[in-house]
Amino acid sequence: MFDKGLLTLTDIKKTMRGLVGLYILQAFLIVGQAVSLGLVITHLWSGKPLKEQFIYIIGFIISFAGREGLQWWSNRWLD
């Protein structure tokens, strides 16, 4: 449920738009994590060498760090 009393707070619409944007970006980063990790596991299972998987591993690390950074920033922004 959505409390309509929240809309009476100052700058709440701006804050809510920002949070929605952050959560949409976080969703894309979660998908990036899943895809890159899935590709690494699948390629390693197929017998491909680890050296060929570094681009996917870097993609996972960037997605993970980005998601953690967004979570930290949104928590700090709300406080």
Find the angle CA(4)-CA(73)-CA(21) to the nearest 5 degrees: 55
Domain total in the chain:
1
Q: Write out pLDDT tens, residues 23-37.
A: 999 999 999 999 999
Global pTM?
0.79
Tell me the backbone φ, ψ of residue 47, rounded to 5 degrees: 100, 10
**26 inside domain:** yes
**3 inside domain:** no
Given a contact cutoff of 8 angstroms between Cβ atoms, the answer to whether 14 and 78 are in contact is: no
- In tens digits, what is the pLDDT along the chain, a chain of 79 residues? 667 777 777 787 888 888 899 899 999 999 999 999 999 999 999 999 999 999 999 999 999 999 999 999 888 877 7
**63 inside domain:** yes
The dihedral formed by the CA atoms of 30, 34, 39 and 44, expressed in degrees to the nearest 10? 120
- Domain assignment of residue 42, given as a range: 21-78
**65 inside domain:** yes
- pLDDT value at residue 18: 86
**64 inside domain:** yes
**11 inside domain:** no
Q: Give the H or E element holding residue 5.
A: none
